[in-house]
Amino acid sequence: MKKIISLVLGLSLFYCATPEKKADGFIYVNNITGINLDDAELNAKREIIAKGLGELVEGNTKVDQGQLMEAVVNTSVEGFVLDYQQIGKDRKKGALVEIDAKGRVDRGTAQSIIDKMLSQAGNPNFLMIVDEEIDKRKSPPTAIVTENAIVKNFSEFQFLDKEQFRRILAKEGGKTIGVYGDTSAEAKATEVAAQMGAEILFIGQTIVKNNGPIMDSGMMSMQATVRFKIVDVGSAKLIAADNAGGAAPHVDTERGAQEAIDKALVTSKPKILEQIRTKWKRGMMIRLVIDGMNYDDFLDKGIDGIIRNIKGVNAVNQKGSSNSNNSIVLEVQADFNGTVLYRRMREKREDMGIKFEQKEVKPGVVQIKVTK
């Protein structure tokens, strides 16, 4: 337990006290500092949470406990702490403000958030769009055998409504067939996937051929070839790709096609999962768009460095160099999604020296507008 708690004591540069839990159910924290009273209060709540969640996090072994603890503490400071009270008056400590405080942790809400995080860690939101041809016949968009096989074989992912995806894509002028291999169509599909809150987009093409009867068996030889790309929606970058094949004998063309497709995906799955794990080793990619900010101001205020110093952020890279429309695009790789990133950026507004409001906040995309 002590080891787990110690992993989160570095959540702020400005607090390092040891919390204490008493018989009245309150968790007490002393000598908590911050750059102002609001910052000190935020740090106090973080430390109260860190103390109160220790045993809850310790009981979960699906992910690294230290990372899970940090992610939970960083996710929802306000939502976890009940009956928060500052004890006595705040004190000056050099340029900092120091306080003592107490509070209770809402264990029910905390457990719910932990369960959600564990689910998200293994089940990113997933969308797919697949072209399919079976025995020289195009499959209708509403009856793609490959999509059903993907749902069955990739149980690690949380699948969003593919029919809604197609409707929105068509409404916005995107292609719903013939997407694979068409660069502009793939880009539009990725854009719509981001709007729906997806983190992964599967773009595929399946061709199943009937190679004719198998001698003296009464069955046909069905050969499936599945080509696909898996795209990180936040960055629009390719994170995995494969061409897989599978064959199945059957008396029925459709049934044989299903079995051949399934065999192809079973063969491909380990390679695809390994590619995804490798690309996401440093966290998921979030596309951060800052509108209404001059590039010189961006550099002078060190915005990218401040974001990089947010706990759980592993990398920040600028995408492109043009600032002709006062828009700056960053790729942020983090141990949490875009919703959490935006919340953590709100906490850092004073450090950034800017005021901003959200234009779009989704798991893979955050777009903000700098206000005067």
How large is the average pLDDT for residues 194-212?
88
Report the pLDDT value the prediction gives residue 167, as an integer from 0 to 100: 92
φ, ψ (nearest 5 deg) of residue 360: -160, 130
The last residue of a domain, from among 103, 121, 139: 121
Residues 90 and 105 in one domain: yes
Q: Which domain holds residue 104?
A: 2-121
Residues 109 and 44 in one domain: yes
Q: Rounded to whole angstroms, what are the CA distances from 174 to 15, 48, 60, 87? A: 51, 49, 42, 58
What confidence category does residue 54 fall into, taking pLDDT thresholds of 50, 70 and 90?
Answer: low
Report the pLDDT value the prediction gives residue 361, as an integer from 0 to 100: 87
Q: Does the pLDDT at position 189 exceed 90? A: yes
Residues 304 and 250 in one domain: no
Q: Does the pLDDT at position 175 exceed 70? A: yes
Of 3-7, 71-75, 224-228, the poorest mean pLDDT is in 3-7
pLDDT tens-place string over residues 273-319: 777 766 665 667 788 999 999 889 998 999 999 998 887 788 888 87
Distance CA 198, CA 190 (A): 9
The CB density around residue 249, as the number of other CB atoms within 10 Å, is 16
Residues 316 and 229 in one domain: no
The last residue of a domain, from among 250, 279, 308: 279
- Strand 237-250 and strand 220-232: the pairing is antiparallel
Q: Is 97 helix (H, G, I), strand (E, B) or coil?
A: strand
User: CA-based angle 185:190:191, to the nearest 5?
Assistant: 100
Residues 115 and 131 in one domain: no
* CA end-to-end span of the chain: 46
Distance CA 97, CA 371 (A): 28
How large is the average pLDDT for residues 166-180?
90
The last residue of a domain, from among 254, 279, 304: 279
Residues 81 and 205 in one domain: no
What confidence category does residue 91 fall into, taking pLDDT thresholds of 50, 70 and 90?
Answer: very high
Q: Does the pLDDT at position 203 exceed 90? A: yes
CB 68 within 8 A of CB 49: no
Residues 158 and 32 in one domain: no
Residues 98 and 134 in one domain: no
Distance CA 349, CA 303 (A): 10
CB 101 within 8 A of CB 90: no
Of 12-16, 27-31, 156-160, the poorest mean pLDDT is in 12-16
User: What are the structure tokens assigned to 83, written together?
Assistant: 């009956």
pLDDT tens-place string over residues 94-127: 888 999 999 887 766 666 655 555 554 445 788 9
* CATH number of the domain within which 306 lies: 3.30.1360
Residues 117 and 127 in one domain: no
Indicate the number of domains in the chain: 3
Distance CA 309, CA 11 (A): 10
Q: What percent of the chain has pLDDT over 90?
A: 24
Which letter does DSSP use for residue 189 in this model? H
Q: Does the pLDDT at position 368 exceed 80? A: yes
Residues 229 and 359 in one domain: no
Residues 273 and 314 in one domain: no
* CATH number of the domain within which 148 lies: 3.40.50.10610
Which letter does DSSP use for residue 128 in this model? E
Report the pLDDT value the prediction gives residue 55, as an integer from 0 to 100: 53
What confidence category does residue 2 fall into, taking pLDDT thresholds of 50, 70 and 90?
Answer: very low
Instruction: Calculate the average pLDDT of the chain.
Output: 79
Residues 113 and 7 in one domain: yes
pLDDT tens-place string over residues 210-258: 888 887 777 888 899 999 898 888 778 888 888 889 998 888 888 888 8
Distance CA 172, CA 327 (A): 23
Distance CA 30, CA 104 (A): 15
User: What are the structure tokens assigned to 239, written together?
Assistant: 């994170």
